[in-house]
Structure 1
Amino acid sequence: MAAKLPRGIQSTTWKKKDGTTTTKFRVRITRKDFKDKQPQYFDDLKEAVSYLALSKQPKGKELLYSITEEQRLKRAEEKRESGKNNFSLGYFIDCYLNDYILTKPAETELQIRNRNNKLSFYKTIRKTSIVDRFMTFSEKEEMGIQDNQPTYRFMEAFDVRQIRAIDINYYIKERLKSVKPISVQRELTMLSNVFNKITYFNETLTEVKNPVSTYDKDLLRNTIQKREFSITPDDEKKLFEVLSNYQNKEMQNICRLSLLTALRRSECITLKPMMVKENYIQLTTTKSGKPRKVYLDETAKEFIKNLTPHTKDKFFKYTIAGFDRVFRALLEKNGLGHIHFHDLRRMKISRTLSQIGAENSIFVAEFLGFSSVKKLEELHIDAQAVEPTDQRGFLNNFGHASPDITRKHYFNFDLKTKEKIAELKSKKIQKTITTDEEKDLLELLIRMSES
């Protein structure tokens, strides 16, 4: 029989999408003298017991609320001074949100979605509890906590002047218990953004360094797996057969639009007729928040010309969330669950690079609407498979092209296809190629130059 849990703590178990089960300890405090009524979840029973013990002591409650004695006495002054003496991470997150997130327009579905995603990230950061290295022996003794017993504090309660790389390491370890490494990496980016702006909120903090920049990189090294995938010709054929048979033709049109223009899903769905010019699309709301131009080839221009807008202000009726839900379900049902919508954008970029040549990165970036040539080269060109025939090829081949490259990539050049083309070209030059091989060579060249 399992040991009885302390009063106020419950064990909760649920099954995740991958089939594994997760068990956490929930602390729900409903006392009138406790402000935070939201339940808190802990992976370790000791953490839950520690939290519950702190909630019963005045000093402990102050710690959990992130209200120190000095802050309480100077609360009125802090309001007048706009938080001049408040150094908690939660305060600076609020400052960052007020100045850089909540001030941005939130009128379109994409803008609202982006804002809500960021707010959700910061809420997670604030409410993640990690080991508190700063509680003294006397403070523990006063609260009846043994000196060797670890205590925990919400991230929002830490003083930004005290946060170091070791605390970021604790954060990473805690988050890796429940989410994927790529999610932790995004959260670290969000947290880093706050520290980069701290001196704009309090000029006395010029000596505060960004602890995110010095965390232990080994904690996330080799755990963030880049997705190396490109749609095969058979998958592409089956995909559009499925889409053509689907009752709502908008689904097929949105996918075709992305394949012809390399627009992102949200950019396709929110496309307006007024954005389409003679030979380019002028996007006003993008992932980066900056407007950009995407030039159209003849095939794309003809396709858009034949599109019938849903209304005068919008090509498609779908919402972003609605489309994503239906698209995933449709592909899963037809055995294409391994394909992501973003693969259509990858395919267009890959084909453009194959057709025009990766060495023409300035032109490709302008044509596809990349705001940064360097970013195009990092994400799509430097990551492609290159035969190691020179120094650059060897550096890329062995993974040392640049310490700054993100190692993400889109372009997955089929090295076997390239080798086959080279072999057949050699036979053609030597006049030893057969009729069937000539047909194969032509088919391969056409496939590589498709747009």
Structure 2
Amino acid sequence: MAATIPRGIRVIDWKNADKSRSIRYRVRVERGDFVVDRSFSDLERAKLFLEDTKTPQGRLLIAQGRDRASLVVDEVERLAAEFIKEGRCTLSHAIDSYLRAYVNGKLESEVDKERVTAKAAKARLEFCKTVRVPYIKPGHVVPSGPLASLRQFAKGYDEKPIGDFYIDDLTEQETTEYINARLRAGKANSTIKRDIYALQSVVNKLRYTDNKAWKRLNGYNPFVQADKSKLKGGERRRRRIISDAEEEALLAELRKCRNPEMPMIFALAISTGMRRAELLGLRWSQVDLDRGVIHLNADQTKASEDRMVILLPEAREAFKAIPQVDDRVFHYKIEGFKTNFQRVLKRAGLTDIHMHDTRRSFISRVLKNITASPVAIADMVGARSVSNLERRTIDRIRQHEMIEAGAIKTEQELRWTVQHKDGQTTSRYANLAPERTE
């Protein structure tokens, strides 16, 4: 059955340059000052063009050469046209280039920390490519102003994986929609922040992985411009500290493991404040029991800087109980230890404990028994930022002690109670003059 020709489209017998003949579809419109006359090789493009002539927005797009008929081309022609546009690349291509340059080579690393970090980075970025975000197809008007909230009802509204977008076509609107899509999926703010920062890094590294694409962006990074205001706050930081009773119960269960290294690793973690990866990658050549220190290399620490760990008496005793088989102190891989530790926690009925809680517990004990200096504690546990350590861990531990005591004894405790950032703010509220007597 022949296709119906709408009113306003005329079928013409067209003579081509090679003297062959073909059918074309002509659209001629005269509306006041608006006069247009175009012919098309296929009927669908002619219909789109005719529709655009009927609205003010469509006529504006025609005048700009951005009407739908001008943008709708054969898929093969489109791919060929995009291919020859120098410097264009999709986000998926940029992610693949980033993984090849910075991640894939570490997937088989003998250093546990490098291998686990690389696997996590690869999994995160591969997933990021698949997150579907809404957009308005080319040739359609993007709603703005009061109509922006009705974007999903606009003509040309569609969704596709963010990895399919050309990076120079991505705007802050699409990257913000990525955040919204992840929030709708119930992901934590911290998870989405890590996604955005990882994608920011992918685009920034284009200057090394695809310099032509980087030059085309002219320094613009759409993920930097994304609206991150929805990711502020709303999360409770973990404050868990392992009690003495829980430590004893957990050690008792760990001693039942066939591998005798399990209780030793936990005992050292809670007596040194070292991270799991730092302990599992430790070598005897780095341990100096005579001086009571451990020298960690830059590739073993989170901050990627050399660090010296001070061994307290209980940590020294724990090290002396470990047999020296070879240069490695422990022979567990991170993945294997993590799996076994979860099983032990389940058997002990302590599923709310994380291995990283040993670090917070160590800081708590140092505060109570040895020193109250944040600088000294930061040096012991290898915290890069003293202010962050004080704000996120030390202050919370002291707040807990204040609650237990049921009293406000210092000016710092008063500021925590009234939520003042510094003494200057508190001074504006203070009035220490004697009360007036009648």
Q: Into which bin does the TM-score normalised by the smaller protein fall?
A: 0.5 to 0.7
Distance 1:184 1:232 in 2: 32
- Per the alignment, residue 254 of structure 1 pairs with 265
- Residue 266 of structure 1 corresponds to 277
1:38-437 equivalences under 5 Å are: 68-74=79-85, 85-102=87-104, 106-137=109-140, 148=155, 150-178=157-185, 180-181=187-188, 182-198=190-206, 201=211, 202-203=214-215, 205-209=217-221, 211-212=223-224, 214-218=226-230, 220-277=231-288, 278-284=291-297, 285-309=300-324, 311-358=325-372, 360-386=373-399, 393-398=413-418, 401=421
Instruction: Measure how far apart 1:281 and its partner are.
Output: 1.4
Contact 1:295–1:369 at 8 Å: present in 2 too? no
Distance change >3 Å, CA 302–CA 373, structure 1 → 2: same
- Encode CA deviations 1:266-321: one digit per residue, 9 max, x unaligned: 22222221221242212232334433221212221232123113x31322232211
Q: Using a 3 Å threshold, how does the CA distance of structure 1 residues 213 and 312 change in structure 2: closer, same or farther? A: farther
- Alignment check: 8 A CA contact 1:270 1:314 kept: yes
The CA deviation at 1:379 is 3.1
RMSD: 3.3
Larger Rg: 2
Task: Give the whole-Å Cα distance in 2 for the aligned partners of 1:235 and 1:134.
Answer: 58
> Which stretch of structure 1 is more off in the superposition, 266-275 or 373-382?
373-382
CA–CA separation in structure 2 for the residues paired with 1:293 and 1:97: 32
- Cα distance in 1 for residues equivalent to 2:119 and 2:75: 30
Deviation for aligned residue 1:347: 0.5
Match of 1:38 in 2: none
Contact 2:88/2:168 (8 A) holds in 1: no
Amino acid across the alignment from 1:274: S
Give the letter aligned to residue 292 of structure 1. R
Task: Give the whole-Å Cα distance in 2 for the aligned partners of 1:273 and 1:260.
Answer: 18
C-alpha displacement at 1:99, in angstroms?
4.3
Residues paired across the two proteins, number? 323
Task: Sort the Cα spacing of 1:228 and 1:370 in 2 relative to 1 into closer, same or farther, 3 A.
Answer: closer
User: What is the CA-CA distance between 1:178 and the residue it aligns to?
Assistant: 4.1
Alpha carbons 2:175, 2:222 under 8 Å: kept: no
C-alpha deviation, 1:348, in angstroms: 0.6
Letter of the aligned partner of 1:401 in structure 2? K
Rate the CA distance shift 1:299–1:213 in 2: closer, same or farther, 3 A.
Answer: farther
3-state SS of 2:136 partner:
coil
Task: Give, in angstroms, the shift of residue 264 of structure 1.
Answer: 1.4
Distance 2:398 2:390 in 1: 13
Contact 1:265 1:341 in 2 (8 A): yes
Unaligned runs of 5+ in 1: 1-57, 79-84, 139-145, 403-451
Equivalent-residue separation in structure 2 for 1:68 and 1:394 (angstroms): 65
Once residues 385 and 119 of structure 2 are traced to their aligned partners in structure 1, the CA distance between those partners, rounded to angstroms, is: 26
Percentage identity across aligned positions?
A: 25
2:68 alignment partner in structure 1:
none
Give the superposition deviation at 1:170.
1.6
**CA separation in 2, counterparts of 1:385 and 1:401?**
16
8 Å Cα contact 1:126/1:155 also seen in 2:
yes
Shift of 1:69: 4.3
Deviations 1:124-171 (A, max 9, x none): 112222112353339xxxxxxx96363222222323334333323321
In the other structure, the counterpart of 1:18 is: none
1:292 and 1:371 in contact (8 A); partners too: no
Q: Offset at 1:265?
A: 1.6
- 1:174 partner amino acid: A
- Decide whether aligned partners of structure 1 residues 370 and 147 sit closer, same or farther in structure 2, where only a CA change above 3 A counts: closer
CA gap of 1:291–1:95, structure 2 versus 1, over 3 A, is: farther
* Distance change (3 Å), C-alpha of 1:338 and 1:299: same
Whole-Å Cα distance in 2 between the matches of residues 99 and 337 of structure 1?
A: 39
Report the Cα offset of residue 333 of structure 1.
1.9
CA distance in 2 between counterparts of 1:384 and 1:260 reads 17
In structure 2, how many angstroms separate the alpha carbons of the residues matched to 1:308 and 1:61?
67
Q: Deviations over 1:338-379 (max 9, x none)?
A: 111111121012211333444x22222222222333332343
CA distance change for structure 1 residues 72 and 165 in 2, over 3 Å: closer, same or farther?
closer
> Residue type of the partner of 2:81?
E
Question: 1:23 corresponds to which residue?
Answer: none
How far apart are residue 215 of structure 1 and its match? 1.5
Q: 5+ unaligned residues in a row in structure 2: which ranges?
A: 1-71, 142-152, 403-407, 423-438
What does residue 141 of structure 1 align with? none
Letter in 2 for 1:89: L
* Separation in 2, partners of 1:378, 1:69: 55
The answer on whether the counterparts of 2:89 and 2:167 sit within 8 Å (CA) in structure 1 is yes
The structure-2 alpha-carbon separation of the partners of 1:297 and 1:325, relative to structure 1 and needing over 3 Å to count, comes to same
Distance apart, 1:180 and its partner CA:
2.9
Instruction: Note closer, same or farther for the CA distance 1:61–1:354 as it changes in structure 2 (3 Å cut).
Output: farther
Q: What SS is found at the alignment partner of 2:255?
A: helix
| SS class of match (1:293) | strand
Instruction: Name the SS for the 1:290 alignment partner.
Output: coil
Shift of the 305–94 alpha-carbon distance from structure 1 to 2, 3 Å rule, reads same
Question: Whole-Å Cα distance in 1 between the matches of residues 308 and 200 of structure 2?
Answer: 30
1:118 counterpart letter in structure 2: A
Corresponding letter in the other structure for 2:130: K
Cα distance, 1:394 vs. partner?
A: 4.8
Change (3 A) 1:392 1:61: farther
Cα 1:212/1:395, change in 2 over 3 Å: farther
